[in-house]
Structure 1
Amino acid sequence: MVSSIWTIALFLLGAVQGKEICYSQLGCFSDAEPWGGTVIRPLKVLPWSPEKIGTRFLLYTNENPNTFQNLLLSDPSTVEASNFQIDRKTRFIIHGFIDKGDESWLLDMCKNMFEVEEVNCICVDWKKGSQTTYTQAASNVRVVGTQVAQMIDMLSTNYNYSLSQVHLIGHSLGAHVAGEAGSRTPGLGRITGLDPVEASFQGTSEEVRLDPSDATFVDVIHTDAAPLIPSLGFGSSQLMGHLDFFPNGGEEMPGCKKNALSQIVDLDGIWSGTRDFVACNHLRSYKYYSDSILHPDGFTAFPCTTYKSFESNKCFPCPDEGCPQMGHYADRFAGRTSETQQKFFLNTGDSSDFARWRYGVSVTMSGKMVTGQVKVSLYGSKGNTHQFDIFRGLITPGSTHSNEFDAKLDVGTIEKVKLLWNNHVINPTFPKVGASKITVQKGDEKTMYSFCSQDTVKENVLLTLMPC
């Protein structure tokens, strides 16, 4: 009994005192609360030294899109000698746990940026600090975040570079690296958190994790927000930005389950295959972001209380203040953020291109009363959609049925609508059904487009409605 009391006393003493480690230029790091000895962070782990982590800053630009230039914190002349341009935005991409800065997805993201803008794209490689035990990697986040803040400070001090032009994009643990860097850089322009990791961060105080105070604008994409136990969700469900996006509800991404086994035998090798198998939902966040760069209006996200409400068609169309785009162009909505954190929902495709365009369709029926299903396809200046289900059940003339769907393309100006009905029941009277009016609305527009017809058709015969 006495020994157990001493054990508790020593533990409490350690919790109060805590250890501290100091690194020249970076400052000191403690393992006391809130960094350790708490319910969420029971283990006390100090971050490794910058030498052991070996963080590298790999600069790609429009002028050198395939080979990086290494920027050294210890040698500002490496910036001078590089293709870094002061009149461009600078976007840092920061990988997460067990990942590395020269992994193909970071460069692919840079290359997508080069298609739409002139930019300094810096991939932050801290693989030595991330490829260790999770608890140690989570602690190393603080040193890497401090180094990112130092690189930003060097650009600001030596080149009078504007902090508002800096955008940190962090995946997994990298989202919290970005948060650490942002908390040390007042006036930082933007942080994008790509599925910020849950373990050791969700529910902690703001100084430990990514939060809205870390930059002027913080946007977050949640793709693996199911609880870690028992669902093995790696990402956080906690709101951590001014705008938090939950594509497909934020927990199960389309294409992850059915592609899981095929990913394992992928030519990219066992590691990336296994990675996609284990963490497919978690990795989707950076794949969505990368696709969003090339589709400025393909990730319209709707404010809504829950995904269930969104799926029940209760959050369409966009409100008067509009809808943000999830991903690269979310900052176009920055001026419309509020003090309260906001949740947004949308659906994506199950493989790249992930972009989708949401339409609301309302059909007023005509013709005979029958039981069956009604489908509609849209034809526009940029192409046409496939047929989407609008209604199944008793079709009565004069009744109106509505539904929303996510199309693979923006059809442009809608020129006509085609309706198809069937019930797969042999009916010797060959009933005819039609639609007197169909209205269509695109999610991010207020305009309603109306199409009319006085005709009726037999089962499985297309009826074309023209503008009215």
Structure 2
Amino acid sequence: MGKGNFHFLTVWIILAQILATFSSNTTVVYDNSTVTATPVPTSDQWLLDYTGIVSKFSLRTADEPEDDLCYIVPGERDTITECEFNPETQTFVIIHGWTVTGMFESWVPKLVSALFNRVPSANVIVVDWLTRANQHYPTSAAYTKLVGADVAKFVTWIQNELQLPWDKIHLLGYSLGAHVAGIAGDLTKRQISRITGLDPAGPTFEHAANENILSQEDAKFVDVLHTNTRGSPDRSIGIQRSVGHIDIFPNGGTFQPGCDIQNTLMGIASAGIKGLQNMDQLVKCSHERSIHLFIDSLVNADQQSMAYSCNSQSAFNKGLCLSCRKNRCNNLGYNVKKVRSTRSTKMYLKTRDMMPYKVFHYQVKMHFFSEKKLSFTEQPLMISLFGTHGERENIPFQIPTLEGNSTVSFLLTTDTEIGDLLIVKLRWEKDNFFSWSDWWGRSKFHIRKLRVKSGETQSRAIFSSKDGEFAFMIRGGEDAVFVKTRDDNMNRQEKRMHKRKMQGTLFGQNDA
């Protein structure tokens, strides 16, 4: 069997293992051996027993983000000094997930470097539980309890030794590692400042009790990115249920732009022989996107992606949820505002298919008039935006329904910063070369005005036809052109409050 065929077969074995039906019990038989996640004693004395710790904790450096050059060993205080741990600054603990190769994946040093990029003085610790993570998936899933106990012991020990403030400890867990972080947070009596769950694993955890998974009860603040929730519950690679104070679902959370088979295979092919090592991207591209979105928030601080609270992806796609009032919008990733509530807040946003991932969100609302009774579905439009800072022409959009005497609202995104929007153009494309409805005349709609709201700036504007009372949108015809007529913006105080929420107070910024 050729090497390429071997790697491709490996991918589908991985997928089959992930999507297999798993038992909800924590006891799993693997290779004639039994792995049991032993319940942790209720007494705190177990936290002081470091003899059973299997996981390793390396303090990485900005100069050597890929290498484990120094390990901090729980119970051995000298290792804290030897590794030059700084108790005066922020501490990040990175926890990887399931692994097929038994080695760290390429995203680990990238996240390490990104954290140092944002906080150069930080302590960045990578948890190595590779021996337990490199098992049949259900076995590794059962090990999360034991690894969570290891992390809890480590964090508690180093906190006690150095009187390290709990509010300087931030755990970041990916896939199974997210549940490890949650268990560790629960065992440390929820004193950890923040846990970030990067697409927490779904199989065996979708219906599990809160003490066995990441939940909002595990830290003072828990934020979660869901990027691969496709499939039925417990068969989805990423967990579908909301488990944090804030749960963000980029692009609906099911599938991420650029992760289709064609794009992924092209990326693998462009890497040559080394690309064969990345065949598993066919399976994990959307899953791993959660990490790269977080990395993006660290290295592209001037291009923060914004997420919006919404009851459903369907409502979000209609542009109905672009409000920032009462904490209904938030930054994705590192700079998230720590808004806590007893009920999880579900948030949505769109992104690009590559870094920087930020796009600008607009709600476009219009009323269609027609002299004849017209009705169409899935019609292609081209929309162009022109503003004070830039322009973006011919954004493709497929409108679900198009009929006379109806009001339509939809979400439009662009990766170009337009600034204050001044002109909008609409063009109705033909969906095929020949249409019976156009036999006796071309289909035409009248539009009096557009209402456009920007999610990022919270500004609202009304656009009227450039020529006459109505603009005409004709299938296969010219652009219908609309120009800005007046603002329906927030009042001055509301805009000032919004700017402070998004950027912080402006006091002192101009001081020399």
TM over 0.5: yes
Task: Verify: 1:310 aligned to 2:316, yes or no.
Answer: yes
Structure 2 counterparts to residues 152-191 of structure 1, below 5 A: 152-186=155-189, 187-191=191-195
Query: What's the offset of the Cα at 1:350?
Result: 2.9
Query: What's the offset of the Cα at 1:276?
Result: 0.8
Cross-structure match for 1:12: none
2:58 is matched by which residue type in structure 1? L
Cross-structure match for 1:103: 105
Asked whether the 8 Å contact 1:45–1:135 carries over to 2, the reply is no
CA distance in 2, matches of 1:114, 1:368: 62
Cross-structure match for 1:15: none
| 1:414-465 deviation per Cα after TM superposition (whole angstroms, max 9, x unaligned) | 1522314356699999999997654432224432134555426894358473
Percent identity, aligned pairs only, is 26
Query: What's the offset of the Cα at 1:135?
Result: 2.8
Query: What's the offset of the Cα at 1:339?
Result: 0.8
CA distance in 2, matches of 1:465, 1:365: 17
Query: What's the offset of the Cα at 1:405?
Result: 1.2
| 1:302-360 deviation per Cα after TM superposition (whole angstroms, max 9, x unaligned) | 22222223224343334433312232222x1x2x3211122222222233333222111
Q: Which residue of 425, 429, 435 corresponds with 1:419?
A: 425
| 1:257-280 deviation per Cα after TM superposition (whole angstroms, max 9, x unaligned) | 233433554447366422111233
CA distance in 2, matches of 1:431, 1:202: 49
Cross-structure match for 1:342: 345
Asked whether the 8 Å contact 1:452–1:465 carries over to 2, the reply is yes
Asked whether the 8 Å contact 2:320–2:363 carries over to 1, the reply is no
| 1:14-36 deviation per Cα after TM superposition (whole angstroms, max 9, x unaligned) | xxxxxxxxxxxxxxxxxxxxxxx
Q: Which residue of 458, 462, 480 corresponds with 1:446?
A: 458
**TM-score, with structure 1 as normaliser:** 0.76
CA distance in 2, matches of 1:370, 1:416: 32
Give the direction of change, closer, same or farther, for the CA distance of 1:46–1:431 in structure 2 (3 Å limit): closer
CA distance in 1, matches of 2:23, 2:283: 28
Task: Verify: 1:215 aligned to 2:216, yes or no.
Answer: no
1:201 is matched by which residue type in structure 2? F
Structure 2 counterparts to residues 242-321 of structure 1, below 5 A: 242-258=245-261, 259-262=263-266, 265=269, 266-267=271-272, 269=274, 272-296=277-301, 298-321=304-327
Structure 2 counterparts to residues 30-429 of structure 1, below 5 A: 39-41=24-26, 43=28, 45-46=35-36, 55-62=55-62, 65=65, 68-74=68-74, 75-98=76-99, 102-118=104-120, 119-186=122-189, 187-227=191-231, 232-258=235-261, 259-262=263-266, 265=269, 266-267=271-272, 269=274, 272-296=277-301, 298-330=304-336, 332=337, 334=338, 336-363=339-366, 375-388=382-395, 389=397, 393=402, 401-411=408-418, 413-422=419-428
Shifted more, 112-121 versus 185-194: the winner is 112-121
SS of 2:282's partner is: helix
**TM-score, with structure 2 as normaliser:** 0.71
CA distance in 2, matches of 1:246, 1:235: 11
Q: Which consecutive unaligned segments of at least 5 residues does structure 1 have?
A: 1-36
CA RMSD of aligned residues (A): 3.9
Give the direction of change, closer, same or farther, for the CA distance of 1:431–1:185 in structure 2 (3 Å limit): closer
Asked whether the 8 Å contact 2:27–2:37 carries over to 1, the reply is no
Query: What's the offset of the Cα at 1:234?
Result: 1.6
Give the direction of change, closer, same or farther, for the CA distance of 1:429–1:243 in structure 2 (3 Å limit): closer
| Count of residues paired in the alignment | 425
1:58 is matched by which residue type in structure 2? S
CA distance in 2, matches of 1:66, 1:204: 34
2:326 is matched by which residue type in structure 1? D
Asked whether the 8 Å contact 1:228–1:234 carries over to 2, the reply is no
Give the direction of change, closer, same or farther, for the CA distance of 1:243–1:50 in structure 2 (3 Å limit): same
Asked whether the 8 Å contact 1:172–1:196 carries over to 2, the reply is yes
SS of 2:210's partner is: coil
2:35 is matched by which residue type in structure 1? V
Q: Which consecutive unaligned segments of at least 5 residues does structure 2 have?
A: 1-21, 29-33, 39-48, 487-512
Asked whether the 8 Å contact 2:58–2:72 carries over to 1, the reply is no
Give the direction of change, closer, same or farther, for the CA distance of 1:126–1:271 in structure 2 (3 Å limit): farther
SS of 1:203's partner is: coil
Query: What's the offset of the Cα at 1:366?
Result: 10
Give the direction of change, closer, same or farther, for the CA distance of 1:123–1:465 in structure 2 (3 Å limit): same
